[in-house]
Amino acid sequence: MTTSGEFRYLDPASISPGIKPWTKVDGAYASFGLAPRRRSVANIRDSIQPDQPAQGHFGTDIDVSGFAVYHAPAQEKAFTDDAAVRNGYYAEVEALLRSKLPGIARVEIFDHTIRKHDPTSPRQPVQQVHVDQTPAAAEARVRRHLPAADVDGLLKRRFQIINVWRPISHPATDFPLAVVDWRTTKPEDLAPVDLLYPLRNRTVGDDNDDRGKEALPDLTNPASTEGYEVKGETYGVLPSDAHKFYYVKDMTPEEAMFIKCFDSRSEWRPGGRKGVAALTPHTAFIDPATPAGTKGRESIEVRCLVFYDE
């Protein structure tokens, strides 16, 4: 079964030569425009079987297409207590990663975001095709979040950044998440984009930890970068007719999606392995089949550094 939707790409015509595009993490403004494209989206729900072996299967092996979806109920249900998320749900996420990805030596969870399709929420579903981390940003994350004495050794191993995404409270019928099969992308589709964070985050707790510091943006002068700093780098994705989109219709809180943002042993990396997915462009989209009055999407994404024995 398929549906269709409007997908918003980074518009190459809006980028000035020699000037790097940027966007604000709070969604207040971006220096570039978006180019809408109508695309079909295939529902892969029938590919998700609770007892299906993960290795080598589209939709359940993250190295094949860059994403994987599992039936994985969580003990945490409310996601309203930050301490419960960090202390309880993080442990559940790590256990899930270890159960599905063989050879993991270490997992470091460095961030999470709760998104709600609600005007009062400081983080909304992102309706732009993007990748959360560039290779430079991935290495920077290791250096920022791991002890300095461990960094050089860890960077010699295979490591990944994986987002573990799941709906909260009710199925994600509204603003579902669509992912692109990485095999239908090429490096030329990707444009590095600086990610700007509010400077006020430095003054609240650990300046390397942006969790719990989300706030509605000040929109009095959204195009200004005053009060912001570059603290990350993402990929904006440029339009391509080759991209193939997939989603899980009515994905439930009992299901979790792994979204690969980076893999140091991917086909695109020096010395990488042919056929190993590099990344997963993804975006929220409006499914025209969504019934009127559907409850707004709520979801959590947990960002994980995953290191392997190899």
CB 146 within 8 A of CB 159: no
pLDDT category of residue 52 using cuts at 50, 70 and 90: low
Distance CA(116)–CA(94), nearest Å, equals 24
The two structure tokens encoding residue 34:
């978006």
Contacts of 107 (CB under 8 A, 6+ apart): 94, 97, 98, 304, 305, 306, 307
pLDDT class of 173 with cuts at 50, 70, 90: very high
Residue of 119, 82, 111 whose CA lies nearest to 216: 119
Contact status, residue 131 vs residue 190, Cβ threshold 8 Å: yes
Give pLDDT, residue 234: 98
The answer to whether residue 56 scores a pLDDT higher than 70 is no
Q: What angle do CA 233, 113, 240 make, to 5 degrees?
A: 50
Amino acid symbol at 138: A
Task: Provide mean pLDDT across the span 60-87.
Answer: 95
Over residues 187-215, the mean pLDDT reads 93
Q: What are phi and psi of 26, to 5 degrees?
A: -85, 5
**Would you tell me how many other CB atoms lie within 10 Å of the CB of residue 118?**
13
Q: What is the pTM of this model?
A: 0.95
Which band of pLDDT confidence, cut at 50, 70 and 90, is reported for residue 310? confident
pLDDT band per the 50, 70, 90 thresholds, residue 50: low
**Of 131, 88, 141, 78, nearest in space to 111 by CA:** 141
Let me know: does 38 contact 47? Beta carbons within 8 Å. Answer: no
Strand order of the β-sheet with 130-131 is 2-10, 34-43, 245-247, 177-180, 282-284, 130-131, 228-237, 190-198, 22-24
Provide the percentage of residues in the chain whose pLDDT is more than 70.
97
Give every CB contact of residue 266 below 8 A, 6+ residues apart in sequence. 272, 273, 276, 277, 278, 279
Measured CA to CA, the distance from residue 256 to residue 304 in angstroms comes to 14
User: Is 46 a residue whose pLDDT tops 90?
Assistant: no
**In contact, 206 and 171? CB cutoff 8 Å:** no
